[in-house]
C-alpha cells in the first residue's frame, strides 16, 4: 500500500485532487460534525464543491436517523443537501432486507430490531414488518416472567425470522435477551453497522457494534459478526452506485474511520479515498506497519479543501 498524500496547505495539490472527481461520498459523524457541532468551514467547503459542479452524497453508518431525519439535521446545520443526497445504514439495511433477502416473502417475514427510530422508519418505507426498536414496553428491567417466556419461547413472535441490530441509546438486558432468544430460534443475524465507537461532542461513546452486534455475536458463539449493511459493506456500495449512477473512478470517499469509510472506498475500487483527522482516525492508525488499510490522501479537517477557491 503506497503512502497517503498529505494535502493540507498544498493549494495546487488540493485543486488537482478535487479535479479528479465528480462525486464526493461524505461520511458524517467525525467528518462533518461531532454531534450537533458542525466543524468550522464544512458548510463553505460543501458549497465550494457544488460551485465546482461536484456532487456530494452523505453516506453514514449512524442508523439512529432516517434519510428524512438526516435532511432535517443537514438543513438545520445549513449544510446544502436534499433527501436524495442521504444514504444511511438504516436505509441500506432496509433495502437489503426487502429487495435482496425479500424478507416479506419469507416464512418468517418479521424483523426484531435493536435500535432507534431511524431503522423503524426505513423498514416501514420498504414495507418490512418489525417489532422491538423504540417500543416502550422493552424499556424496563427484565422480570422472572420474561426469563420464563424467553426460555420456553412463549414470549417470542413466531413470525420473526431476522434480528437487525444497530446503535440503541436505550439498550438493556431485556432487549439483548430477546434478540438472543430469536437468534437461538435460527433467525438471521444482521447489523446496520458494527462501529465500535460513536464520535460525539469531541469525545467517544459506545458505538453500534459495542452496544448490540458484538455482545450478540459473543452470545451466539465464537463471536462471528453479523452481515452489516453499512460501510464497509459492498452491498451498500453497490446500492449507492446504482442509486447515484456513480462513475467509481471519478468518485472519492471522505471518512474518519479506516475500517469502515476508507475500507469501503478501497474495496469499492473508488478513484480515491480521503481521510480526515477530526473523528476516530489518527495519523498513526494508517502509518503503522499493520494498518488495516491506508487512504490515498489525507487532510487535518474537511475545510482544508477550502483553499481551492482562494
Ligand X SMILES: O=C(O)[C@H](O)[C@H](O)COP(=O)(O)O
Report the site for ligand X in 251-280 (rule: CB under 6 A): none
For residue 207, the partner it binds in Mg ion, ligand X, none, with Cβ less than 5 to 8 A by kind, is ligand X
Count the residues in the chain: 310
Find the shortest distance in angstroms from Cβ 152 to ligand X.
34
Q: Which three cell numbers stand for residue 189?
A: 443475524
Q: Is residue 29 annotated as involved in ligand binding?
A: yes
Separation CA 24–CA 261 (nearest Å): 12
Comparing CA positions, the residue from 92, 67, 68, 71 lying closest to residue 80 is 71
Cis peptide before 232 (omega within 30 of 0): yes
Catalytic annotation, pick one of 22, 29, 157, 238: 29
**Is 81 a binder of ligand X (CB under 6 A)?**
no
Applying CB under 5 A, among 69, 122, 168, 256 the residue interacting with Mg ion is: 256
Report the site for ligand X in 198-217 (rule: CB under 6 A): 198, 207-208
Separation CA 269–CA 234 (nearest Å): 10
| Residue 29 annotated as catalytic | yes
**Is 285 a binder of Mg ion (CB under 5 A)?**
no
Applying CB under 6 A, among 34, 45, 61, 233 the residue interacting with ligand X is: 61
**Is 195 a binder of ligand X (CB under 6 A)?**
yes
**Is 28 a binder of ligand X (CB under 6 A)?**
yes
**Is 113 a binder of ligand X (CB under 6 A)?**
no
Q: Are 276 and 298 in contact (CB under 8 A)?
A: yes
CB atoms within 10 A of CB 272: 20
CB atoms within 10 A of CB 180: 15
Separation CA 61–CA 263 (nearest Å): 13
Q: Which residues are annotated as a binding site for Mg(2+)?
A: 27, 29, 256
Residues that bind ligand X (CB under 6 A): 27-30, 60-62, 167, 193, 195, 197-198, 207-208
So which residues are the catalytic ones? Answer: 27, 29
Amino acid at each position: 500500500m503506497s503512502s497517503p498524500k498529505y494535502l493540507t496547505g498544498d493549494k495546487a495539490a488540493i485543486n488537482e485532487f478535487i479535479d479528479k472527481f465528480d462525486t464526493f461520498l461524505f461520511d458524517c459523524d467525525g467528518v462533518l460534525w461531532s454531534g450537533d457541532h458542525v466543524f468550522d468551514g464544512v458548510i463553505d467547503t460543501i458549497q465550494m464543491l457544488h460551485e465546482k459542479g461536484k456532487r456530494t452524497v452523505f453516506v453514514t453508518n449512524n442508523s439512529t436517523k432516517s434519510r428524512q431525519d438526516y435532511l432535517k439535521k443537514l438543513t438545520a446545520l445549513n449544510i446544502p443537501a436534499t433527501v436524495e443526497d442521504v444514504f444511511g445504514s438504516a436505509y441500506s439495511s432496509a433495502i437489503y432486507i426487502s429487495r435482496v433477502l425479500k424478507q416479506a416473502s419469507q416464512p418468517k417475514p418479521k424483523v426484531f430490531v435493536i435500535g432507534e427510530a431511524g431503522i423503524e422508519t426505513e423498514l416501514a418505507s420498504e414495507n418490512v414488518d418489525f417489532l422491538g426498536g423504540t417500543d416502550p414496553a422493552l424499556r424496563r428491567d427484565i422480570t422472572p416472567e420474561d426469563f420464563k417466556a424467553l426460555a420456553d419461547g412463549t414470549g417470542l413472535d413466531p413470525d420473526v425470522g431476522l434480528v437487525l441490530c444497530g446503535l440503541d441509546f436505550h439498550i438493556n438486558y431485556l432487549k439483548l435477551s430477546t434478540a438472543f432468544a430469536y437468534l437461538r430460534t435460527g433467525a438471521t443475524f444482521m447489523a446496520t453497522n458494527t462501529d465500535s465507537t460513536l464520535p460525539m461532542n469531541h469525545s467517544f461513546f459506545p458505538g453500534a457494534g459495542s452496544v448490540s452486534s458484538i455482545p450478540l455475536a459473543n452470545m451466539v458463539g465464537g463471536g462471528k459478526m453479523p452481515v452489516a449493511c453499512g460501510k464497509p459493506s459492498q452491498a451498500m456500495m453497490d446500492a449507492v452506485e446504482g442509486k447515484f449512477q456513480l462513475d467509481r473512478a471519478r468518485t472519492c470517499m471522505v471518512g474518519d474511520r479506516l475500517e469502515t469509510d476508507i475500507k469501503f472506498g478501497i474495496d469499492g475500487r473508488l478513484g480515491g479515498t480521503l481521510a480526515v483527522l477530526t473523528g476516530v482516525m489518527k495519523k498513526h492508525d494508517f502509518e503503522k506497519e499493520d494498518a488495516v488499510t491506508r487512504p490515498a490522501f489525507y487532510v487535518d479537517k474537511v475545510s482544508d479543501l477550502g483553499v481551492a477557491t482562494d
